Structure formats: C-alpha cells, structure tokens
C-alpha cells in the first residue's frame, strides 16, 4: 500500500487552500459520514423500531435528501425476524443554532419529503440531527413534535 496522496486529493486540497475559508467550510459539510445508525435495542424505540438508520445525500450547500429507516426486526444471536422495515424519505437543511454552533456542532433539520400524490406518514413530527465537531464521535437524532418540543433523543454512530 502506498502513502502517496492521489492526484485528486492534492488538487482538492490546493483548490480549497486557494479558495479561502468559506469554500473549506462548504467542503467539510459534504464529507460528513453519509450513514448514521443507532444501537440495536431489545425494547422498541420510536415508532416500534428497534434500530434507526439515517442516510444522508448532500447536495453541496448543506442541504439534501435523507432516508430514515425504522427497523422493527427482533434479533437473537445470529437469528433475526424479518419484519417490514419502514423507510421515510426526508429533506434536510443545515440550520444555525446559537447553542451548538460555538462548540463546532452542526444541526440539520429533517422534514418528511412530500412527493406527488403521497401522504405524509408522520405529519406532526420532524427531526434534528446534531453532528459533533470531532469526527467519529456519536451524534444525536432528536424527535420533535409539531409544537417544537423534543419528544425523544437517540444516539447514532
């Protein structure tokens, strides 16, 4: 295995250094891990799920599309029930939060996407994903009701 940086990595770094801090910050938004998953729980979490996964697809400006996967399957050893997994399509955007921003955390607001002729599965709920400044640290998924009150917090890695 070679330790020589790839041509693409060198060119990206050179462009970011030349473009200034705003472009570097924008680049950092897009290189976050794209998938966060909660630990498996014997007791159901939100919406009957025993495990929740959030998959993000960034569009470059701190916003994009997401899929929240609520998996109600039960696990015992190497066996698992195959219950219907519920996928909820959502849109997300980077928001400013006076509490988290000084600590280097980013807060993304996720709302269920509305497609043509589709009915929203969770019209009275949206989510906040709080990502840490330190790479590899767990993040938090907050379940927020229509009145803006946090109903539940779930740790994701």
Cα 38 to Cα 50, 53, 69, 76, distances in angstroms: 9, 6, 11, 17
Give the tens place of pLDDT for each residue, 14-73: 444 444 444 444 444 444 557 999 999 999 988 889 999 999 998 878 789 999 999 998
pLDDT at 32: 55
78 burial level (CB within 10 Å; 0-12, 13-18, 19+): exposed
Tell me the pLDDT of the chain averaged across its residues: 78
Report whether pLDDT(1) > 50.
no
pLDDT at 61: 81
Q: Which helix (H) or strand (E) holds 38?
A: none
The ranges assigned to domains in the chain are: 1-31, 33-156
Give the tens place of pLDDT for each residue, 92-131: 999 987 887 888 888 999 999 876 555 566 778 899 999 8
Q: For residues 130 and 101, give the distance between their C-alpha atoms in angstroms, rounded to a whole number.
A: 10
Q: Model-level pTM?
A: 0.72
pLDDT at 39: 92
């Amino acid at each position: 295995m070679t330790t020589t940086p790839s041509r693409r990595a060198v060119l990206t770094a050179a462009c970011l250094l030349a473009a200034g801090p705003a472009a570097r910050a924008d680049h950092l938004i897009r290189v976050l891990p794209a998938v966060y998953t909660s630990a498996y729980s014997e007791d159901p979490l939100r919406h009957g799920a025993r495990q929740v996964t959030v998959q993000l697809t960034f569009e470059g400006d701190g916003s994009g599309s997401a899929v929240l996967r609520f998996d109600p399957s039960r696990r015992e050893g190497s066996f698992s029930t195959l219950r219907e997994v519920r996928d909820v399509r959502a849109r997300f955007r980077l928001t400013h939060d006076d509490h988290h921003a000084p600590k280097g955390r980013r807060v993304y607001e996720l709302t269920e996407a509305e497609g043509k002729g589709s009915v929203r599965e969770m019209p009275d709920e949206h989510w906040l994903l709080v990502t840490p400044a330190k790479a590899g640290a767990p993040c938090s998924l907050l379940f927020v009701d229509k009145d803006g009150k946090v109903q539940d917090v779930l740790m994701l890695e």
